[in-house]
Amino acid sequence: MTDRTRLPVFRALLASVLGLAVVFSLTACASQPDAATDAPGGEAGEPATEPTRVILASTTSTQDSGLFDDLIPAFEAAYPEYAVEVIAVGTGEALEMGRNKDADVLLVHAKADEETFVAEGFGTERRDVCYNDFVFVGAEGDPAGVGAAVDLNAAMTAIASGEAAYVSRGDDSGTHKKEKKLFESAGIEPAGDWYLVSGQGMGETLKIASEKQGYTLSDRATYLSMLEALDLAIVREGDEGLLNQYGVIPVTDARNPDGARAFMEWVTSAEGQAVIGAYGVETFGAPLFFPNAE
């Protein structure tokens, strides 16, 4: 075969090879996932979106008790469009965050202050979520006789006149607010060497009381969740004045009002209430919080 006869054959083979290459290229492109339609969580023709942040200002007791370890993942599973950032502070500071619009929703436990917060226009509404109770804890043996006192007024007098230390949170939290009301009702202005102020959350305050072998007022959930690390016993419980009610409040003009509303609706729904009511049962044989949303 001459060079002149070979040239048309070579050109035909080259065209065939190039044609096959184009076919394979198009097939490979068609098999690649489309970033806009096949991304996890995205609908056909819609890009996947990142969840929007919901800032929840709450108490150190709900954080230290471990409740949020169950509650927040359950909410985010129900509402994957939201991601909750918890800021655990005292109730007074959480309410102040709401006034400054530094939080979208509050979960706190000082009902009178919460109702004032809403009445002043800083919150859209308030709903009951759950309750537990406060307990007085102290050294085994109760040297000041707090448990033997005839009522809460007598118990506060026993604390003030006893030789054992009392450790206050002193942080304007719901627990601190309750403590101040109890001392006030007993006609006592707490001061002196026996009255120590931690300025910290419930968990740290319990640790200090344990080290000092002193008394403190605690929500039951945080105390029980830390029991193995403490050398403290419950010395008084069950008084009517020791109820600890929690409420949820979406902040007026919050940065994420839809997320705040969704959290309130979910935490007061049957699903959210079930998560709250189940928390602690496996470990302690009883709930640490009792759901009571209406």
DSSP codes of every residue in 248-259:
EEEBTT-SSHHH
Q: What residue ranges of the chain are covered by domains with CATH 3.40.190.10?
A: 52-132+245-291, 133-242
Write out pLDDT tens, residues 240-289: 999 999 999 999 999 999 999 999 999 999 999 999 999 999 988 989 99
Amino acid 12: pLDDT? 42
Nearest alpha carbon to residue 107 among 50, 65, 156:
65
Task: Work out the percent of the chain whose per-residue pLDDT is above 70.
Answer: 84
Fold for the domain defined by 52-132+245-291? D-Maltodextrin-Binding Protein; domain 2 (3.40.190)
What CATH class has 133-242?
A: alpha beta
Angle at 126 between CA 261 and CA 257, to 5 degrees: 25
User: Which phi and psi (to 5°) does residue 128 adopt?
Assistant: -65, 145
DSSP codes of every residue in 219-266:
EHHHHHHTGGG---EEEE---GGGEEEEEEEEBTT-SSHHHHHHHHHH
Average pLDDT over residues 120-146: 97
Distance CA 123, CA 262 (A): 15
Average pLDDT over residues 83-98: 96
Write out pLDDT tens, residues 153-208: 999 999 999 878 999 999 999 999 999 999 999 999 999 999 999 999 999 999 99
**Residue 268 identity:** T
